[in-house]
Amino acid sequence: MPQKRCIPFIIAALVAVSRIIAGKHYPADVIFGAFIGMPCAVWSYYFLFYFLKKAER
């Protein structure tokens, strides 16, 4: 199961690199987008599961 956890990160990295290579974004745009996106994703994950666990009780 841990191997499947890497798949979204690999896809995100490939998309980020492809956007830079295609010339659609500057590298700084991709880096700062990742710095903003990762904490938002972690917060959403924990927020969602907190309410799901609370609803099961």
pLDDT in tens, 5-24: 788 889 999 999 999 999 99
Domain containing 40: what range?
2-56
Nearest C-alpha neighbor of 32 from the set 20, 23, 43: 20
Q: How many domains does the chain have?
A: 1
pTM given for the model: 0.66
pLDDT at residue 37, rounded to an integer: 92
Output the six-digit token pair for 9: 């990160």
21 vs 4, more confident: 21
Beta strands in the chain (DSSP E): none
